[in-house]
């Protein structure tokens, strides 16, 4: 059998996710809704475990009395859960109202809509006719798509595709247009039959809009679903400071839904329109901020590794100066080599940004812009602030040094859905195991870290008689008090192991004839397949210990 391509591997992961109840398309019985996904019984546990790991490791389990390795000092962490809809001024001062947009182009012929920066293409010629063939595909799919398009455009049969002359490789459409090497009038759109059907690019704000109140209508009722959880943290900076005993340096963490009206949601849950974020805003003294930035970048990188993501598939990428937002002092992305991307390409899991004092100042003074290297309040045509800030004092008074300053912010911002997808892709393996008769059988297994696995153990009576189910049910009830586990007596034991392997369950405990005589069970390890006999009375403590 050919080695599966990564795209077919991705297809298998998507199919497993559906088949085993991890992830479903939203509103599927009505044909689905693009960019929206539901988590099924196993998926909801996986995602909840991931969020609980994050919350435990970053907030609940944080020891504020000691200095973690690499940190400039000890620090405190606090949690928050704020609303999805906030005062519209929040988004005006944060910059999202004016700037949170993508460029889109429409196709007049196919009526399809594309993100301008997702389009790429290459020049094709045949018997004197020349066209710039555009694709909206990425990775391995892109080049074959342009071949198909060119073949159709030139009216060639499959065996004639070699007659097409290609001039250079794939280049971003936007770069070619900006450089003046091509015009949209010569571009053959991804779903068009003739060149020149793509419109000029235009801005599209990604915030979902809604209206507040029964008599909604005027501009005053206009509100937005939050496109990030971060702003809610800035809204509550002073509340947390005034009501808890935290002092700088400290972080506020929040997990919650965010919404972006993505032009082209794609790659399963990777780019969704509704998704969850796990964000920390870490407030520190300006002079220490570079050291805290490095601490959080390395801390978050190690978090993914400790939960089992393959080091070789992860990349830490510092942004170049041209990529930084106008307010950012430094940003690093933690990226993963998702199977839907071409070799050497990585997709963002989390960004760690040094945001300086941009956010707190914006919400004090009004929307800021950079002028001559300085952040200043943007003025409207009337000379007044374009978007007025709250006027509230969000500075911090340091009792120890008697200094007052606006804290700097380090922001580790992770996507829960992207992390789930990365852990699913990384855990997915196909291998061969011996069946009950010792013959090789292919299996699909999710090698999830036990902390992430939806079920920690399955308890299986070898047969449904001879008192084995009773012993197994008793063990199941005792274990269930400590961890999610399941009892399964249906089908051959080989099939039951296979079901648990696909669900990512790290351990199976089998009750057999020997259990009835010597009170031991077989403990099967999902990854090594090693089976050991363990006294039934020790099973609960043993698995609890392994989970720790």
Cα 42 to the chain's mean position, in Å? Answer: 18
CB of 180 to ligand GAP, least distance (A): 31
Strands (E), 248-292: 250-259, 274-284
Q: Kindly identify the residues of this chain, within the stretch 409-428, that bind ligand GAP according to CB under 6 A.
A: 411, 413-415, 417-418
The piece of 22-30, 58-66, 275-283, 321-329 that touches ligand GAP (CB under 6 A) is 275-283
**Contacting residue, 45, 267, 272, 289, with ligand GAP by CB under 6 A:** 272
Do 455 and 503 meet the contact criterion of CB atoms below 8 Å apart?
A: yes
SS3 per-residue string spanning 311-322: HHHEEEEECCHH
Cα–Cα distance for residue pair 382/415, rounded to 1 Å: 40
- Which helix (H) or strand (E) segment holds residue 193: the answer is none
Output 275 or 507, the one with its CB closest to ligand GAP. 275
Neighbouring-strand partners of residue 274: 259
**Contacting residue, 20, 47, 62, 271, with ligand GAP by CB under 6 A:** 271
Query: How would you label 517-538 residue by residue, b for 16+ Cβ within 10 Å and e otherwise?
Result: eeebbbbbebeeeeeeeeebee
Cα–Cα distance for residue pair 402/4, rounded to 1 Å: 64
Cα–Cα distance for residue pair 340/387, rounded to 1 Å: 41
Three-class DSSP category at 411: strand
262 binds ligand GAP (CB under 6 A): yes
The piece of 131-139, 348-356, 465-473, 516-524 that touches ligand GAP (CB under 6 A) is 348-356
Give the sign of the dihedral formed by CA 302, CA 267, CA 7, CA 104. negative
Q: Kindly identify the residues of this chain, within the stretch 224-243, that bind ligand GAP according to CB under 6 A.
A: 228, 230
Cα 522 to the chain's mean position, in Å? Answer: 37
- Those residues whose C-beta lies under 8 Å from the C-beta of residue 218, and which sit 6 or more positions away, are none
**Contacting residue, 124, 307, 349, 521, with ligand GAP by CB under 6 A:** 349
Output 260 or 499, the one with its CB closest to ligand GAP. 260
256 binds ligand GAP (CB under 6 A): no
350 binds ligand GAP (CB under 6 A): yes
Neighbouring-strand partners of residue 37: 25
300 binds ligand GAP (CB under 6 A): no
Q: Which residue is nearest to ligand GAP (CB)?
A: 415
Q: Residue count at the site for ligand GAP (CB under 6 A)? A: 19
348 binds ligand GAP (CB under 6 A): yes
Output 58 or 188, the one with its CB closest to ligand GAP. 58
Cα 504 to the chain's mean position, in Å? Answer: 20
Q: Backbone phi, then psi, for 23, in 5-degree steps?
A: -140, 130
CB of 227 to ligand GAP, least distance (A): 7
Neighbouring-strand partners of residue 330: 354
367 binds ligand GAP (CB under 6 A): no
117 binds ligand GAP (CB under 6 A): no
Beta-carbon count within 10 A of 337 CB: 20
CB of 411 to ligand GAP, least distance (A): 6
Contact string 382-411 vs ligand GAP (x = CB under 6 A): -----------------------------x
CB of 50 to ligand GAP, least distance (A): 12
Output 287 or 321, the one with its CB closest to ligand GAP. 321
Cα–Cα distance for residue pair 178/184, rounded to 1 Å: 11
Output 232 or 454, the one with its CB closest to ligand GAP. 232
Output 85 or 212, the one with its CB closest to ligand GAP. 85
Residues that bind ligand GAP (CB under 6 A): 228, 230, 260, 262, 271-272, 275, 277, 279, 348-351, 411, 413-415, 417-418
């Amino acid at each position: 059998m050919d080695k599966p391509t990564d795209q077919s591997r991705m297809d298998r992961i998507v199919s497993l996710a559906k088949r085993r109840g991890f992830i479903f398309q939203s509103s599927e019985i009505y044909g689905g809704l693009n960019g929206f996904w539901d988590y099924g019984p196993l998926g909801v546990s996986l995602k909840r475990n991931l969020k609980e790991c994050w919350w435990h490791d970053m907030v609940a389990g944080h020891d504020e009395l000691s200095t973690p390795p690499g940190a400039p000092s000890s620090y405190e962490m606090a949690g928050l859960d704020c609303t999805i809809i906030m005062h519209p001024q929040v988004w005006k001062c944060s910059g999202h109202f004016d700037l949170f947009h993508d460029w889109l182009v429409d196709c007049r012929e196919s009526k399809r809509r594309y993100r301008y920066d997702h389009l790429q293409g290459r020049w094709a010629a045949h018997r004197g006719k020349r066209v710039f063939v555009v694709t909206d595909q990425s990775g391995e799919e892109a080049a074959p798509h342009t071949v198909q398009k060119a073949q159709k455009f030139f009216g060639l049969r499959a065996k004639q595709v070699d007659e097409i002359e290609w001039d250079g490789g794939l280049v971003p459409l936007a770069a070619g247009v900006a450089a003046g090497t091509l015009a949209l009038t010569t571009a053959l759109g991804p779903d068009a039959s003739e060149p020149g059907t793509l419109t000029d690019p235009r801005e599209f704000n990604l915030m979902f809009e809604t209206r507040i109140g029964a008599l909604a209508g005027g501009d005053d009722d206009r509100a937005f679903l939050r496109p990030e959880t971060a702003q809610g943290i800035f809204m509550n900076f002073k509340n947390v400071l005034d009501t808890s005993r935290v002092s700088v340096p400290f972080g506020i963490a929040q997990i919650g839904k965010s919404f972006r009206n993505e032009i082209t949601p794609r790659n399963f849950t990777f780019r969704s329109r509704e998704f969850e974020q796990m964000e920390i805003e870490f407030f520190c003294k300006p002079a220490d901020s570079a050291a805290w930035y490095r601490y959080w970048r390395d801390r978050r990188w190690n978090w993914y590794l400790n939960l089992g993501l393959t080091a070789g598939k992860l990349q830490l990428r510092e942004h170049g100066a041209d990529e930084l937002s106008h307010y950012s002092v430094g940003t690093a992305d933690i990226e993963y080599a998702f199977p839907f991307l071409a070799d050497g390409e990585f997709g963002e899991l989390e960004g760690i940004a040094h945001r300086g004092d941009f956010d707190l100042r914006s919400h004090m003074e009004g929307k800021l812009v950079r002028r001559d290297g300085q952040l200043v309040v943007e003025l409207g045509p009337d000379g007044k602030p374009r978007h007025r800030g709250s006027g509230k004092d969000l500075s911090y008074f340091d009792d120890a040094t008697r200094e007052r300053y606006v804290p700097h912010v380090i922001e580790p911002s992770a996507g829960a859905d992207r992390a789930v997808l990365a852990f699913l892709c990384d855990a997915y393996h196909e291998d061969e195991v011996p069946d009950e008769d010792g013959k090789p059988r292919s299996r699909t297994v999710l090698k999830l870290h036990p902390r992430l696995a939806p079920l920690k153990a399955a308890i299986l009576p070898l047969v449904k008689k001879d008192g084995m189910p009773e012993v197994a049910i008793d063990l199941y009830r005792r274990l269930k008090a400590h961890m999610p586990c399941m009892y399964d007596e249906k089908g051959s034991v080989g099939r039951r192991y296979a079901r648990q392997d696909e669900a990512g369950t790290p351990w199976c405990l089998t009750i057999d004839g020997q259990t009835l005589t010597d009170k031991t069970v077989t403990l099967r390890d999902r990854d090594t397949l090693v089976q050991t006999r363990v006294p039934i009375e020790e099973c609960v403590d043993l698995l609890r210990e392994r989970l720790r």
